[in-house]
Structure 1
Amino acid sequence: MVTLFLIVIYAAFISLGLPDSLLGVAWPVAQKEFGASLGDAGIISMVISVGTVISSLFSSKLLKRFGVGKVTAVSVLMTALALLGFSFVPAFVFMILLAIPLGLGAGAVDSGLNEYVAEHYESRHMSWLHCFWGVGAMAGPLIMSQYMSLGVDWRMGYLTVAIIQFVLVAVLIATLPLWDKVAEKTSQKKQEADANGENPGELEREADLDPPIASGKGGFLAPLKIKGAKVALISFFLYCGVEMTLGLWGSSFLITEKGIDAAAAAQWVSLYWGGLTAGRLVSGFLAIRFNNQQMIRIGELTVLLGVVCLLLPLPQFVCLIGFILVGAGCAPIYPCMLHETPVRFGKEDAQSMMGFQMAVCYTGSTLLPPFFGLVATKVNVGLLPVFLLVYIVIMLVSSEASNRIFNRGKQS
């Protein structure tokens, strides 16, 4: 039952990734129809991000009151209705309005599922969970491009994804009774493994940590008062800066600085995302051998090596290797940082802290790529590796600082 139910969670994360890349593919056609500018897609993206940040911050209260299963089902229903609306919109302003429920639904699903998997499943499942997000993110453009290649209206792409979401809603409603049963069963297994000494790694660390703030005490910002919380959030903020900045500006960097044509540059960037998705599949197996802290460190050092390949004046193929290394390095960082949440902050504050982490992540992905875009416009897009280097170095320092803080708690 536990394994079969995990398939449902994976499917939910595929659905979370499906809408994320639709707008970029559909917009070049949709903007002409609406008489909007190419940059107006940024307005829709910003509204989605703001909605996601808001729902992430308040997800803890909803999850504690209604449970992960109900919140996930309702949130996916919100995204399905929003996507259905996208398939019928007569004007640009309606896309902005529909972006609100799309963002609100995505944030609650992200926070709820991440916390649930972090608490009830092993680290490898968190990596595979985010690998399935990548599957959804890659499948969305494929669905949209298939309709466009056939000369069908771009709205059919949104309609198809909406139908997939509605099917998932039906599955989630049917499996509502399983959420608490699976949680209880996995908790019992963990307790038995801990008692028998079969799984000493993360369980010992979790048992040794004594979070100073109890859930529900100290108000909305109480989890931030836990020692090390703010340092940990820096890593989340900068991680999204690295991932999304290279994903957005990598093609422009290759064309302008490396003299690569647009088609080849697009292929190189696709290899970056492919490296990220494949890396998370591999990370799930590596997580059997290494703990979360080791996986995060390996990922950060791999990203650092990839950024150096981009920074140095080396042949083009080395730059390609750099893109793949950054993608593969990013793969374990985010899932393993999320999986550490109950260990670092305790189960009582895990939901609240997960919401803050999600909000910080979306804030980083919203602010840092446009910030570099402004610098690139005013100065030079060739500064991309320099910015990435600064981000990854600060992230590495803050990550190691977090490890020292929480490991010291284990020893005391």
Structure 2
Amino acid sequence: MRETNQNSDSTTPLLSASQHLSYTTCQTTGASLNHTVEDGIYTLERQPEKWNEPRTNFWRVLATFYSFIVVGANDGVYGAMIHYLGKYYNADYKTVSMVFLSPFIGYAAAAFGNSWIHERFGQRGIALLGTGMHIIAYLAATQHPPYPALIAIFVLSGLGNGIVDASWNAWIGAMDSSSQLMGILHAFYGLGAALAPLTATYLITNRDWKWYEFYYLMAVAAGVEFVTSVAAFWSARGSLSQAQDPDSRGDDNMSPGTPDSLNVNAPPKHPTLESLRMSSTWIISLFLLVYVGVEVTIGGWVFTFLVDLRNTPPSVAGVVTFTYWAGLTVGRVCLGFLTPYFKRQRLAVLAYLGACIILHLTFCVVDDLLLSAITVTLIGFFLGPLYPEAVIAQAKLLPRYLHVAAVGFACALGSAGGCVFPFITGATAEIYGIKVLQPAVLAMLFLCLALWLALPARRPGARQPAFSVSSTPSVLF
């Protein structure tokens, strides 16, 4: 094979089942390839991509960063909105907590549809569908429809979140310097989740905005997300659409009799089902399900907890919600760069979980507002790196050809936890009061700890991880 042009842009999806690369793909992607033998199958596989090679990746990474601001804002604003939705629609805790549960249907659909969307339409399709659904949902919310219709709108926004969240997570998680990049990616999620409730609370309480008027801002932000994501990933088409495009086959690069593929085996027809046969997929998926439940339950209900139970003014409670998400953001950046220095990164995650449990117990027994704000902020700080580190651990335990399906499934199911657990908390609070927030979060933290301890040390039968993460962080910028 002649030398590839490292500066050429890819016309195939960057998030791909990399063991099935045709000769033409090798000539056009500019990816670094490696010959491997895995489970008795001789394959050509991509080396981990870099954030700045080819140069198109730089703009694509920036687009994913901005997209996660919108994804975070979508999730973070629920915490402030349920307080005002309850008053506007005269709804109790159980009814208003449907806001958290409604995106579950969207996330579930994304979990099983992401692999097909990517194969058929590529990352271009992810950008078009995911961000487009954001715009439609937010514009519909500005019309303050009846409550059942609003729930249906949040289902649509959940589908958009699930498509974008799972796809960008899987792509960034398989990159070189993934701990640092994933930390930054999820820091932008935390940034959006921190700014959205603070902005919404300020505009509603100080500027007399209606709750639904805030979604005009969300629609504008989603419009920018649409433009940046589609522009960055426009050339990243699906493998099926490329195969049907005569101009993309590169026949000039193939001699008559050259086989269409350099691999001896066809790709798995059902990568999601195949990945679900692996225990690591289920353990990581359940870990993310519970972890995101913790993250969104705290961020979604701490505002109501402080206002209704501890008689905190709404403006102050909004600031505490902001500091929680801000702590999450800072933790993902700082600890994301620190974690790779640990010889055993899994021990670092255990340490972070232990810190969260101790801090949450402090929040439970201390009624002082200042100390409560500090502990909530520090809980966010130590929760921050858990999601990206779990995605990285999943990718390291998987065969390369299952990254798209399995990591995407885990991320989408994890996001569903942000719907289910806050709803359960709200439904329980309707019976026993909002004080159930504290034991509910504590139970979820211990469950996260048990699931992480159950994670296998390495993929069965593998001589080495699917890709390596350097123990020493590289300089990104």
TM-score with structure 2 setting the length: 0.68
Aligned counterpart, 2:141: 86
Alignment pair present for 1:272 and 2:272:
no
Code of the aligned partner of 1:330: L
Aligned counterpart, 1:401: 454
How far the C-alpha of 1:343 sits from its partner, in A, is 1.2
Alignment pair present for 1:166 and 2:223:
yes
Aligned counterpart, 1:204: none
Contact persistence 1:128–1:281 (CA under 8 A): yes
Code of the aligned partner of 1:13: F
How far the C-alpha of 1:216 sits from its partner, in A, is 2.6
Contact persistence 1:227–1:405 (CA under 8 A): no
CA distance in 1, matches of 2:167, 2:121: 11
Aligned counterpart, 1:285: 337
CA distance in 1, matches of 2:73, 2:403: 27
Aligned counterpart, 2:295: 243
1:299–1:221 CA distance, 2 compared to 1 (3 A): same
Code of the aligned partner of 2:281: A
Q: Could you give the per-residue CA deviations for residues 145-194 of structure 1, whole angstroms, max 9, x where no partner exists?
A: 455433455444222321222232222222225658xxxxxxxxxxxxxx
CA distance in 2, matches of 1:295, 1:179: 36
1:278–1:402 CA distance, 2 compared to 1 (3 A): same
1:318–1:12 CA distance, 2 compared to 1 (3 A): closer
Aligned counterpart, 2:233: 176
Code of the aligned partner of 2:293: G
Aligned counterpart, 2:180: 124
Q: Could you give the per-residue CA deviations for residues 55-91 of structure 1, whole angstroms, max 9, x where no partner exists?
A: 1232122112221232122210121122122223554
Contact persistence 1:308–1:322 (CA under 8 A): no
SS in 2 for 1:175: helix
Computing the radius of gyration over CA atoms, which structure comes out larger, 1 or 2? 2
Instruction: Structure 1: give runs of 5+ residues left out of the alignment.
Output: 181-213
How far the C-alpha of 1:132 sits from its partner, in A, is 0.5
Aligned counterpart, 2:277: 225
Aligned counterpart, 2:312: 261
1:378–1:129 CA distance, 2 compared to 1 (3 A): same
CA distance in 1, matches of 2:116, 2:234: 20
1:108–1:292 CA distance, 2 compared to 1 (3 A): farther
Q: Could you give the per-residue CA deviations for residues 275-322 of structure 1, whole angstroms, max 9, x where no partner exists?
A: 112211212321452465344233212212213323556977655543
Contact persistence 2:357–2:442 (CA under 8 A): yes
1:289–1:166 CA distance, 2 compared to 1 (3 A): same
1:151–1:234 CA distance, 2 compared to 1 (3 A): closer
CA distance in 2, matches of 1:157, 1:82: 13
How far the C-alpha of 1:409 sits from its partner, in A, is 4.8
Number of aligned residue pairs: 377
Code of the aligned partner of 1:324: T
1:104–1:145 CA distance, 2 compared to 1 (3 A): same
1:218–1:21 CA distance, 2 compared to 1 (3 A): closer
> Going by fraction, where is helix more abundant, 1 or 2?
1
SS in 1 for 2:223: helix
Alignment pair present for 1:37 and 2:37:
no
Contact persistence 1:28–1:38 (CA under 8 A): no
SS in 1 for 2:385: helix
CA distance in 2, matches of 1:120, 1:411: 17
TM-score with structure 1 setting the length: 0.78
Contact persistence 2:280–2:394 (CA under 8 A): no
